Amino acid sequence: MLQPKLLELEKSFNKSVLTQIFDPVLEAAEVELWIKRDDLIHPVISGNKWRKLKYILNHVLIKGSDTIISMGGAYSNHLHALAYVGKTLNLKTVGYIRGEKPKKMNPTLLDLQQWGMELRFVSRADYRVLRQYKDCDALPELKKNEYWLPEGGATKLALKGVAEILTEIDLKMDVLCVPCGTGTTLAGLVEASQGEYDLYGFSALKGGEFLVQDVSALITTQKTNWVIQLDYHFAGFAKANNELLLFIEFFLKQHAIELEHIYTGKMLYGLYDLIRKKHFKPGQRILALHTGGLQGNRG
């Protein structure tokens, strides 16, 4: 059962909406494209960030922990959402930040500080070591009142919240697309799917082949209705070129939907490329999940 504090917080969320996209590219390929606007459910804890955190936070409250320790990059959407919700729920938060402390703090880091998160900057080598700790009590020297949360909220508890996305879709679809960082959102959707449509993950990272193994490790029943597209990372995580940025700008002008270059921009660019290449059958209906994270555009 969801704890009262979380029930109260969830009341402040907006309902997600489905938006159909009309475009000559789609007409030429004879496919439909819809976007689930999870970026609109909350001004800060938007998209898949809330989905993944919801039942993790419930576990934190049930355990009686008062401090959540996690990790992420300097523009981390995960830490941004965690710091905000920690302040809202009166929980202490600590963030291990990849890399040296910058001379000038970016907007994301300033928000983390404003919301009370303690920032600990660690070397990339030490950051890689932190990735090996997967369970809430796995971090060495963790105190009794502290709760360890892996990068991106990549735990099995996150899958339960992600699965609720499907209960909000009253549209018959043939393909469901989602961007991938840790692969947790894709895993939750695969876990909850019944095989009636295909799931496409779009890796935001160069060398994202490992995501296949990570997603497989999270789901309890192995399925064959999912795939991860690896060719639309634009040279690496958080990297972009003019072609991607122009696509994002075009999409905003044409459809009044803001994207960002780390996740949703790459997913939709890749999806449009596949559509142009006639990858999908005529008549298919494609749904893409907008996972939010627009705060990163400030950087």
Q: Is the pLDDT of residue 299 over 70?
A: no
Give the least confident one: 146-150, 159-163, 293-297.
Answer: 293-297
Q: Is the pLDDT of residue 44 over 90?
A: yes
- Please give the mean pLDDT across all residues of the chain: 96
Q: What predicted TM-score, i.e. pTM, was given to this entire model?
A: 0.94
- Assign domain 4-43+156-298 one CATH number from 3.90.1150.10, 1.20.1260.10, 3.40.50.1100, 3.90.650.10: 3.40.50.1100
Residue percentage of the chain with pLDDT more than 70: 100
Q: What is the pLDDT of residues 173-227, one digit of tens each?
A: 999 999 999 999 999 999 999 989 999 999 999 999 999 999 999 999 889 999 9
119/84 Cα distance (integer angstroms): 14
52, 76 contact by CB (below 8 A) = no
CATH number 3.40.50.1100 is the correct assignment for the domain at 48-153: yes
Question: Residue 33: CB partners within 8 Å, gap ≥ 6?
Answer: 20, 21, 23, 26, 271, 275, 286, 287, 288
Q: Which residues belong to CATH 3.40.50.1100 in the chain? A: 4-43+156-298, 48-153
* pLDDT score, position 157: 96
* pLDDT score, position 195: 87
Q: What is the pLDDT of residues 219-270, one digit of tens each?
A: 998 899 999 999 999 999 989 999 999 999 999 999 999 999 999 999 999 9
Closest CA to 165 of 19, 21, 48, 24: 48
Q: How confident is the model at residue 143 (pLDDT cuts 50, 70, 90)?
A: very high
